[in-house]
Chain A
């Protein structure tokens, strides 16, 4: 079975020098890949290339399934007068001629997608009034409405409490089980260890593979520019040393500039 997405020596940029190069990975159906990297490391650029917004400046990128983006919920306007159903319905825009309004079938599909992410009873609620986890799931529903087999999630767990995070993680596992490919951009190293593969980016591809093997100290140092602090074990009988990664500008979320 061929991969949903495969990149080889891919270079992407915004007209000038590529901001991301040497990318070579494959996303198989049913796989969840954690995309690690500092801000400006190229995570958003890679996603935009997968969505077709940016053309490869070099190498090859093959996207064999429809990709849909699931952005951070804070990027959307929480004060907008839209319901969860309205947001899910935005997913029908790509499949519709511009002069047409959402059909009954579109509405049915949007409701089904909301039911799929466990929000059937929240369809009429105002989007901004939902919890962070619920909003994230509404945006996943919007991606499902597009019939996307590849989901690109940008920091989906940021700002979620443990229960919401666990629920979202279970949902991503289910979606992968349906044969979808999931790319998850994240800063959370511990979480990334639980995905099937990790892709480390910092202007170029640092590593790709099984998290247990790929996330070596050297890889992390190269990914995060050496901003790694090794903490002495607090436990008298430590089973493993503890590393803390301090990505530069962790609170700076301007992906637009990358």
Chain B
């Protein structure tokens, strides 16, 4: 194990300077000699190596001070190396698990000193995708660290910056990709999210994301594009169930709940008993933001663009229909096409958020930010802008926290979004007081 090598190397590095001060070491001749003369070193700090044969404790002779051995810490002695543990705890790598797979580039043996920041970039590759296509997790559902690239020498390391900054996680390429994904999704949250909240589609959006889950499992098992499978299932759900919910919510909630539970159950059964892909269930349900691939980013970009265009073209109709459906009909909004397109967009948006936050946490992006800013914004335009900004801020903070705490990013973003909602909801409402 690399870890053992590291630990030994560290001890060697520690021993070397110490040996210069050891006055006497094990001498093979002493084992067979009739008489041994031992010269005691008098001094409070000198260490005696605890070799088996030549070690003499002169108990009857007083010493000036008790001599304790310094603990040989199983850590790298170099401070710079210690700070590298912000990403991975190097020496306890065997026991650590991380939420995402971190693969090595295959040249971990190189011992040349490299700049600390550069080392991360070169040695820790962006994690590969865990699920959906190629990789399988082990039975525990989490990927063990397979190989941790580390420095195994104890030499002084040239540092790029005098101390690590709070922004350091954002220099990792897979974190940067996650941020791009989140910024695109915050455009989606700002546009589509507001329509979802305004039209009472929050539950339908949650249901559509959950419905995408069995679609993803099917796509995985049958070998067609994951986003296609997810979108198909979500669209089916949104059109079948969401349509009714736009106008008559009361009778409809129970049906949405029923379909949602059915979707989850079907997905789990398919994953565990049909396709035996149960291990990827967790990442499908809760996302794998730090393991997204460029295809996910493209999907998010497409969803954001669609939501922007649709808002511009159909926003007035969505608003009028939500405001008063009967009056909207009288105004000539008789076609149900705008509403059908809204539901299709909800399905597409839900699928686009899956890679980031998963089927069960899609609401953290699609609903919660818009619901939060709705408390303080009174016009659709400013509401959408505020929602996009809030979703972006929550996403960035969530990723940063997730990297710092080694927590799952999707859930961390959801917690941040929920906390933001609670904070805003508890704030005294100045707008209301003045109105």
Contacts and interface: CB of A to CB of B under 8 A. Distances in A.
Interface of A: 51, 53, 68-69, 71, 75-77, 80-83, 86-87, 89-91, 93-94, 98-99, 101-102, 126, 129, 139, 146, 256
26 contacts: A68-B330, A69-B330, A71-B324, A71-B327, A75-B326, A76-B323, A77-B322, A77-B323, A80-B319, A80-B323, A81-B374, A81-B377, A81-B380, A82-B319, A82-B379, A83-B378, A86-B379, A90-B327, A90-B331, A91-B331, A98-B314, A99-B313, A101-B312, A101-B316, A126-B435, A129-B435
Nearest to B309: A99
Contacts of A80: 198, 319, 322-323
B334 interface: yes
Contact of B323 (A68, A87, A102, A256): A87
B339 to A, nearest CB: 13
B320 interface: yes
A51 B198 contact: no
A232 B407 CA distance: 80
A97 to B, nearest CB: 10
Contacts of B298: none
Interface string B369-408: 0000010011110010000000000000000000000000
Contacts of A87: 323
Contacts of A68: 330
Nearest to A76: B324
A86 B313 contact: no
A91 B331 CA distance: 7
B332 interface: yes
Interface string B213-255: 0000000000000000000000000000000000000000000
Given A53-B329, A129-B435, A146-B331, A77 B320 contact: no
Given A75-B324, A146-B331, A81 B317 contact: no
Given A76-B323, A129-B435, A83 B330 contact: no
Nearest to B327: A71
Name the residue in A80, A90, A99, A101 with the highest tally of chain B Cβ atoms < 10 Å from its Cβ. Answer: A90
Interface string B189-206: 000000000100000000
Interface residues of B, number: 28
Nearest to A71: B327
B84 interface: no
Contacts of A94: 331-332
A253 to B, nearest CB: 12
Nearest to A90: B320
Contacts of B378: 81, 83, 126
Name the residue in B313, B320, B324, B329 with the highest tally of chain A Cβ atoms < 10 Å from its Cβ. Answer: B324
Contacts of B380: 81-82, 86
A93 B323 contact: no
A98 B317 contact: yes
B323 A82 contact: yes
A101 to B, nearest CB: 7
Contacts of B324: 71, 75-77
A68 B327 CA distance: 9
Given A86-B319, A98-B313, 12 more contacts: A53-B329, A68-B330, A71-B327, A75-B326, A75-B327, A81-B379, A81-B383, A82-B323, A83-B378, A86-B379, A98-B338, A126-B435
Nearest to B383: A81
Nearest to A78: B323
A53 B332 CA distance: 9
A68 B377 CA distance: 31
Contacts of A77: 322-324
A53 B334 contact: yes
Contacts of B374: 81
